[in-house]
Chain A
Amino acid sequence: MLQAETVQLLCLTAASGVPLFSRGSSKQLPFSVIGSLNGVHMFGAGQGALLSSCETERGSRVVWRVFQDSLMLIAVSGSGNNAVSKLHLHRLLENTWNCMVLVLGQDELANMRNVERLKRELRSCYRLIDRLLERRGEDQGFMGDLTHCADCLLPSHPAILQQALDSFTQAANSEFGCLLIQGRVALATEKWWRLAPQEVVLLSILVNLLSGVTSCDYPVFLPQGSPTVAHRLLCFQLLPSAFVCVLCGPSPSLHHVESELVGCFWSPVVETLRGCLEQGERSPLPPSVSLRWDVQALLLINRETRRSVGACPRARSHPSSEAQPLSSPGRRWELLRHFYTFAVTRYFTSEEASTSPDSSTSATAHESLHEEFSGGFTHQPVQCYLVTDECKCYGLQTPQHQLYLLTDLSVPTFALRSVATHTLNAVTATTGF
């Protein structure tokens, strides 16, 4: 239907199947196909069956989901060997819905009064939706859209910046504040971390869209926390690629915060901020963490706090002549995404389910995400590995963490486990992550 790796996203009214928008691949699906995709879902519903996904012989996938009994989102992926995973498509629908709520609020979407009007209003979501479809952050290692954990950066000396952030946030009459460095959450106030993980991810994506913007005042509805009442997201670019954000009510005004508070709270720590940016240029992990030279990339998730930190060394720490050449960071991030998907859909399945916001609808959606892991076993796998012709992958799960690791082929398979354990300890012991 579509070219490999392209995804098309459709939005229709759930009750009558009126198309509201279509984004994604430049070649649109013919209207008849859209009609059939809607029709087959409706037919299932009529028979008491919920159609959630299907796959064609050539690897093309379709996933459906109805939100708030009012709108249906359908994602269709192209065929080819590099097929888009079902997990990715399910996440895409969820993220798209959340974007729509973020911009327009749930009332606008759930209580549709006038279809033409809604169509017009939905245009304001295109920028965010297109960003999700472009998947531009992927080769820089942004994974929050997939993991629903905030992509973080761990600063070497957080205390002084944390203090600045806390007092700045308070001065802006808010409890929700966050500092983003190169698009990653470097620090946040306690309350910011209590937002739903998807919201933290979505707000980061929104701020990362602000190229060239010095400050902004965006009305945002929080998909879980406040879907019907808008808050104001104020962001300030302190230095290029360093943004501080606060979530406020009706006051204070953007002008006030910018002219009275920004300089007062952030000028004194500007050098620390610069240091943080320099660190971020190299890695989201602080330099005190030393990784083994044969580690190619890693993703570490804190399961309790729903935060994640990734690393993808630019070069070998100990250049050695036998070592296989490192592939591009973009490629390694891609492999890590694949491995994450592989692990959470087959083995670490509880993880997958626990990240869902509304359990009623997602339970059904998620059951189908899990590939069968030897039916009949009652235990939870805690480790898994995969050997490819490019690298070896190891996944490790503890009550607190999940680690996904890519290593050189030269690491003996029997040693992967100890490399992974060692790496997990190295990061958590140094950073307290």
Chain B
Amino acid sequence: MAAPVPPGSIIVADWHRSPESREFFKKILHKKKRREFGLLETPVMPPHLKADTVRYKVFISGKSGVGKTALAARLAGHHIPNLHYETTGLETSVVFWPVKLRENCRVLFFHFQLWDCGENAMRRFDHMLPSCKEQVDAILFLFSFTDHGSFEDISNQMSRITDPSDRVVRFVVGTKFDLFMHTDVTESEITRFQEVWGVPVFRVGGDVSGGFGEIAPLLNALAENLWHQDCVHASSASLPHVCHPEDTSREVIV
């Protein structure tokens, strides 16, 4: 597991705010909402703005009710359910996210496939967890700011699900941060956790205004760390030249 890279070191930070990104972000919108992509579709750019797509599998892990399904909906720009309906199986949703690399100014579409499995379904059916871990690239460990137990459980989960030798990007995400009045988890606990585990902690929650601002930090960090992880791997496998991990199996055939 590579150490996390500082935000903005590999990709252009806040690129979604820059005018030159508009053409790319337009492709993931439809009538002011996020466009839904079926499996047979990808964003198609005009030839002079051609951007490659790189695919990653992201597993969302956490106790029942912490907000896994809500987070997937938030990142994918779908309607976030108000009620907690247990997810009775495994669901994936796709997020396309354009990113500009600092090094060579290349633009890439990151294709994140978010894997969300209801915790109770995972306990009842043995094949769920292995299926989520199969060829996974990143794991988001979720806790809820309103449930201290879910925070305490994070360290267990991280050691249970991952092994230090795994090639996996790990982030922790605290949900329901909007309910700070009822928060059970303190800032100092979070700081200490980050120091001990060396894993960044993100905070999400609240209404979605529809802009990219609230999801950009997490998606950019994912993109940056996944790209970095692939570069480190590519160079340690002593491939010729620097890093072109997208030349391997990740290229999408359109």
Residues of A at the B interface (CB closer than 8 Å) are 103, 121, 123-124, 126-127, 130, 210-219, 230, 232-233, 236-240, 242, 250, 253-255, 258, 262-263, 266-267, 270, 273
Q: Quote the shortest CB–CB distance from A274 to chain B (angstroms).
A: 10
Residues of B within 8 A of A127 (CB): 85-86, 88
Q: Quote the shortest CB–CB distance from B38 to chain A (angstroms).
A: 4
Asked if B41 is an interface residue, CB under 8 A from chain A, the answer is yes
Rounded to whole angstroms, the CA-CA distance of A273 and B93 in the bound complex is 21
Asked if B121 is an interface residue, CB under 8 A from chain A, the answer is yes
Quick check: which of B127-135, B148-156, B197-205 contacts chain A, the rest being far away? Answer: B127-135
Q: Do A216 and B90 form a contact, CB below 8 Å, given A124-B120, A263-B253?
A: yes
B134 pairs with A242, CB closer than 8 A: no
Q: What 1/0 flags go to B174-194 for Cβ under 8 Å of A?
A: 000000000000000000000
Q: Do A240 and B135 form a contact, CB below 8 Å, given A213-B92, A219-B125?
A: no
Closest to A251 in B: B127
Asked if B118 is an interface residue, CB under 8 A from chain A, the answer is yes
Residues of B at the A interface (CB closer than 8 Å) are 36-41, 57, 73, 76, 78-79, 85-86, 88-94, 113, 118, 120-121, 124-125, 127-128, 131, 134-135, 253
Q: Quote the shortest CB–CB distance from A117 to chain B (angstroms).
A: 12
Q: Do A217 and B131 form a contact, CB below 8 Å, given A230-B125, A255-B57?
A: yes
B88 pairs with A103, CB closer than 8 A: yes
Closest to A239 in B: B38
Rounded to whole angstroms, the CA-CA distance of A213 and B131 in the bound complex is 17
B38 pairs with A216, CB closer than 8 A: no
Residues of B within 8 A of A254 (CB): 90, 92, 131
A238 pairs with B39, CB closer than 8 A: yes
Rounded to whole angstroms, the CA-CA distance of A232 and B57 in the bound complex is 21
Q: Quote the shortest CB–CB distance from B122 to chain A (angstroms).
A: 11
Rounded to whole angstroms, the CA-CA distance of A126 and B120 in the bound complex is 14
Residues of A within 8 A of B73 (CB): 212
B40 pairs with A266, CB closer than 8 A: yes
B90 pairs with A218, CB closer than 8 A: yes
A211 pairs with B39, CB closer than 8 A: no
Instruction: Pick the 8 closest A-B CB pairs, nearest first.
Output: A218-B89, A212-B78, A239-B38, A127-B85, A217-B90, A124-B86, A214-B94, A216-B91
Q: Do A219 and B113 form a contact, CB below 8 Å, given A212-B79, A267-B40?
A: no
Rounded to whole angstroms, the CA-CA distance of A212 and B79 in the bound complex is 8
Residues of A within 8 A of B125 (CB): 219, 230
Q: Do A255 and B134 form a contact, CB below 8 Å, given A123-B86, A124-B86, A263-B253?
A: yes
Rounded to whole angstroms, the CA-CA distance of A240 and B28 in the bound complex is 14
Q: Quote the shortest CB–CB distance from B46 to chain A (angstroms).
A: 21
B39 touches which one: A126, A210, A250, A258 (CB < 8 A)? A258
- Helix, strand, loop or mixed for chain B's interface? loop
A237 touches which one: B39, B88, B253 (CB < 8 A)? B39
A238 pairs with B135, CB closer than 8 A: no
Closest to B86 in A: A124
Rounded to whole angstroms, the CA-CA distance of A216 and B89 in the bound complex is 7
B88 pairs with A240, CB closer than 8 A: no
Among A123, A130, A237, find the residue whose CB has the most chain B CB atoms closer than 10 A.
A237
Q: Quote the shortest CB–CB distance from A227 to chain B (angstroms).
A: 16
Q: Do A214 and B90 form a contact, CB below 8 Å, given A236-B39, A239-B40?
A: no
Residues of B within 8 A of A267 (CB): 40
Closest to B77 in A: A212
Rounded to whole angstroms, the CA-CA distance of A254 and B40 in the bound complex is 16
Closest to A121 in B: B120
Closest to A219 in B: B125
Q: Quote the shortest CB–CB distance from A98 to chain B (angstroms).
A: 14
Q: Quote the shortest CB–CB distance from A86 to chain B (angstroms).
A: 29
Q: Do A263 and B39 form a contact, CB below 8 Å, given A123-B86, A253-B131?
A: yes
Closest to B134 in A: A255
B76 pairs with A212, CB closer than 8 A: yes
Q: Quote the shortest CB–CB distance from A148 to chain B (angstroms).
A: 23
A240 pairs with B57, CB closer than 8 A: no
